[in-house]
Structure 1
């Protein structure tokens, strides 16, 4: 059965996107309306999808429908959105018995897991081993199979997380093959170049794991107690002090100039002499590759417009040339989002192994040179001389004066006759999550609720159980809404991933529909590995990632715990608005509530409010500033 056609109206999708990543299996999300002949046929687990490019003889996706949702917007348009998982999802359909393996190669261990999988599932889900080249130094593993996990999770836990490598299930002539290789992908035959097929690019640098001061530690130095033959439970470790002039620390002064003091302890349990420990510490400090980075691109894939050009694939290494950013690199595609109906909206993310300090400095220097050259070129190409600018300014001033006179005449003529605009009514402002259970959204909207702020996630790991239903039903009821995500980032790169998940989960529901009036970041606990001084960097990274996805700063609201406001030290000037909770007696009333002690644009005054359509308590907010009211108009 055909899912999409450019010819037949009844076989046409509203949207279709394939998402690929080297660290996860593929997914495919598509939307269709009731006019589609397959609208009523799509069911989870029983509906299988294959996406191909016949001109390239290439399969872009193959798998099954995992979930679907249907919705109706305020104009009465009904649509259904389905999310599909790749063939690797079949490995979730079997479980493993507890077993112990030793003197076994990684390939044989994987084969044993697959044999057990094949015993339990239907024939079309059975898998054969394909290219398996991941191993370790001894080509030998000692493992216990976890009988509380399914086959896929055992493979991830017992092999991928420990030995590295990447997985792929492919269909060859009706047979499924599982590949497990260090890296899957080749070298792209086309390049991405400025003024040719590059549309936009952004580069994200994360140096938060750089070490500038190192304390090397060796083996434990056991010490005896006063009691005969008894050893202290806690003993110090070997340090480099005796071989380093009495100093236990190694400092890289050049790195300190670059990043400041960032100390770390590194332990070598097998080192028993200070001289050897000193050598290892120096080597570690000199060779560290701790600067993470990624590059995101939108581009025109030339394979769609030129014969004989192969399309990009996830895992391929591609050459990128952008002189305006100083980019002349060969990088690997680690993820991509392919818009099948609007191919110009396709995006890819490039990344490589972490940068060494020297590589980081080289990239920074190239970027600086490129920005400097672009600035000088801009000045050189400026066509208006100073005299031309002065002439244009005088002409503009004359026009402004004329318009001011005309405006004054109109004001004099209609003074007292034109009714003054009245401020728009602002009703209740609530924020909700899965904790409010099933909500009657029609009743909520009728109860004078002007804005509902709906939680989408609590970190990347927890998707709010009701967010999809709440978004769809709020829109269908004609309600105005915003979305928020609880911040759980452990590093700047993790914060960026949370932002991507936040945006993508939201758009999974509301793409091509009424958009949220803002995206809020809920910052009310110390995250970033418990380091409060890193919270500002984490939130900055989260906001910058939202910017990259198309959400400007003025559409980002920061919800900040009142008691942690100062210690977080967030860049509040960057956000569109600041939202602060402060309860007081928390009895549902404003009169018995205590205002925040910091500047705010919206005050959450209680968690015990009441609204029709919601059983139980709900957070209530009041005193929106003029800046916040702009979201409501």
Structure 2
């Protein structure tokens, strides 16, 4: 197996292992093989084989189990079951089968929970009760024992109602992980499965990742969208009497700092404003009843806010050079050294994408807790100094090389003149004050697809000037799009840009929050550690929330709040709103990153015969009967992206 990995497959949990990939034998050679790991989702493994593979017609969902190991160090990189598979043929007639496998945590989706009430119960005992119920319902090989369970709360006591409409995994996520935090892991110890639930899973690695040793490239993503430069602190509600005797107003103001801050309700940080502009937010302390205390809390919050999201992605990390006990795992903290970018920091691995066949495609994504403002500034200074130093080193080397060249060519006057001209040109480029203007962004076709488009030839789609493909993940929580895994994987492989969308079916705010978690987790199950979607879109085109249009705003707000909690900011959320329901829904359109509206008119696939939406929009879906090479049948077409929508594509 390439780079020391061994991939095996077996029919049934206790079946005989068969080699799935070999560098030697053509009949057991995979076309592609990629492991995706994330601390926020369980592992997945995607592999592709062609009809010459001896197991091409054998592999089936749920019946087959896959394991990826490194025999030289005895480490298991992935173990789980085949979840879905798809057959496809591209425009050149090449036929392939792609299988998507899920990690052992997927077993928890195979059982449901009865309605129960728990109180005076520790988080560990509550989790044990859920696992006991799971073990009653499933085969012996899917049964779990509790391993390391160290997540708790200040009272080591939970009060919970188990949701009998959800499976065991979703109950654990909803009743424990989403409320107490922490991370889950199922591990196989000699055929016995253990479930760990810990605040953070992973160790501090001894191995370093260094530029020019086991690292070829790196990129930094800085997201300051949560920075607050002007704060309005709010304290406890100040009850007031209504005009009618004995009645209290339904809405009452909160305590502000005005009386302790010279009549001003706001706190300003001029240094932050100079750097990020005016960004006004509120922060509420329900237990604060005096203005002086509220003022102090507001100042501390503004000065110590950790609002800079920092992510470091490493490319071409060759894990084959990392040996023995130093082998990296998702969740580990590791030191990264890249002198050219001024990086020598210890970060936590939050995602890994391991290409078993082509090491150059392997990436590791690292991040720790959000940065405080001062830490962000220090890192920015280090990075700037390192990049300037690297630039001047490059110029010095160019000048030294040029000097040597002049000495060798001084016998030829013409060559000296040519060299002088070249030096002058180089000097002009170095000293140029005006950077080269970027070329205008080309916007091609924008489509949205779902399982209704069947098998898509993504190479053909991308070649037909499709700039963005918006891929459905689910219709509510209950229906997972049958093609979303395949569509996302193959769109990425074909080099396309993509976004994801989910149809809103929330019957309550709690239901909307669960849909948001399912939307995010299902997406990350496929793309954790890989190319992330450019945005998450909510498809809102029917009256839900118990049939009350007046409640749709609250449901969508709850959905967006949950996506925020999962790390998706408002500017990465798009609202697709039915044109005829826009007014009655009264959604908070100012909050979203963009508004996408359908309006078809004659609906013949042309813009000329389509009717523009009657409400403001950032993207217009003008037809559901478009035609795109690589897609059989009709496809939705979109046009007229606004400037803020175009930012998604930059």
TM (normalized to structure 2)?
0.69
Aligned partner of 2:343 among 315, 327, 334: 327
State the partner residue of 1:84: 101
Q: Does the 8 A contact of 2:473 with 2:484 survive in 1?
A: no
2:402 matched residue in structure 1? 384
Contact 2:348 2:367 in 1 (8 A): yes
Match of 2:334 in 1: 318
Distance in 1 of aligned mates of 2:287 and 2:488: 56
Pairwise CA distance, 1:471:
10
1:341-395, Cα deviation, whole Å (9 max, x unpaired) = 2233211000000000000000111111111111111111112259778515879
Q: Tell me the alpha carbon deviations over residues 271-299 of structure 1, each in whole angstroms, 9 at most, x when there is no partner.
A: 11111111111111111101101000024
Alpha-carbon shift at residue 76 of structure 1 (Å): 3.2
Alignment-derived partner of residue 6 in structure 2: none
How many residues in Structure 1 have an aligned counterpart in Structure 2?
Answer: 520
* 1:104/1:4 CA distance change after superposition, 3 Å: same
Judge conservation of contact 2:488–2:498 (CA < 8 Å) in 1: no
Q: Distance in 2 between matches of 1:225 and 1:622?
A: 52
Give the match's secondary structure for 1:10.
helix
Deviations 1:410-449 (A, max 9, x none): xxxxxxxxxxxxxxxxxxx9956348656999xxx9xxx9
The 5 A counterparts of 1:328-347 are 328-347=344-363
What whole-Å deviation, never above 9, does each CA across 1:109-142 have from its counterpart, x for those lacking one? 0000000000000011000000001111111111
* Residue matched to 1:369: 385
Preserved contact between residue 241 and residue 247 of structure 1 (Cα < 8 Å)? yes
Of 232, 238, 244, the match for 1:221: 238
CA deviation after TM superposition for structure 1 residue 143, in Å: 0.7
- Contact 1:455-1:464 within 8 A present in 2 as well: no
SS at match of 2:141: helix
How far is 1:230 from its partner? Answer: 2.0
Q: Does residue 19 in structure 1 map to residue 33 in structure 2?
A: no
- Cross-structure match for 2:216: 199
Q: CA RMSD in A?
A: 4.7
Greater shift, 267-276 or 84-93, is seen at 267-276
Label 1:255 to 1:73 Cα distance change in 2 as closer, same or farther (>3 A). Answer: same
In 2, distance between residues paired with 1:621 and 1:289? 38
Alignment-derived partner of residue 256 in structure 1: 273
**Secondary structure at 1:64 match in 2:** strand
Stretches of structure 1 that go unaligned for 5 or more consecutive residues are 397-428, 475-479, 489-493, 512-518, 531-536, 543-560, 562-566, 569-579, 597-601, 624-633
User: Is residue 202–residue 331 contact of structure 2 (8 Å, CA) maintained in 1?
Assistant: yes
Over 3 Å counting, the alpha-carbon distance change for 1:472 and 1:72 in structure 2 is farther
What's the counterpart of residue 283 of structure 2?
266
Post-superposition shift, 1:590?
7.1
Deviation, 1:190, is 1.2
Q: Measure, in 1, the Cα distance between the counterparts of 2:629 and 2:47.
A: 35
Task: Tell me, in whole angstroms, the C-alpha distance in 1 between the residues paired with 2:358 and 2:136.
Answer: 42
1:119 match: secondary structure:
helix
Describe the SS at the equivalent of 2:315.
strand
2:193 to 176, 183, 188: 176
Indicate the SS of the match to 1:333: strand
| Structure of greater Rg | 1
- Aligned with residue 149 of structure 1, among 166, 174, 183: 166
Q: Which shifted more, 36-45 or 148-157?
A: 36-45
- Structure 1 CA distance for aligned equivalents of residues 188 and 117 of structure 2: 31
Distance 2:193 2:339 in 1: 44
| CA gap 1:231/1:176 in 2 versus in 1, 3 angstroms | same
How much does 1:77 deviate? 2.8
Contact 1:197–1:299 (CA under 8 A) maintained in structure 2: yes
Post-superposition Cα deviations, 1:136-189, rounded to whole Å, max 9, x if no partner, equal 111111111111110000001111111111100001111100000111111112
C-alpha change, 1:282 and 1:92, in structure 2 (3 Å) is same
Q: Any idea what the Cα deviations from partners look like across 1:319-341, whole Å, max 9, x if unmatched? A: 01111111110000000011112
Query: Does the aligned pair in 1 maintain the 2:449–2:636 contact within 8 Å?
Result: no
Residue 379 to residue 124, structure 1, CA distance change in 2 (3 Å): same
Distance in 2, Cα, partners of 1:37 & 1:484: 34
Question: Unpaired runs of 5+ in structure 2?
Answer: 1-17, 407-414, 424-444, 503-515, 541-555, 562-567, 574-578, 580-588, 591-596, 614-618, 641-650
**Mapping for residues 226-625 of structure 1, pairs under 5 Å:** 226-301=243-318, 304-305=320-321, 308=324, 310-382=326-398, 383-384=401-402, 390-392=417-419, 433-434=449-450, 455-458=469-472, 465=482, 485=499, 607=624
Larger displacement relative to structure 2 (33-42 or 324-333): 33-42
Distance 1:13 1:104, change over 3 A: same
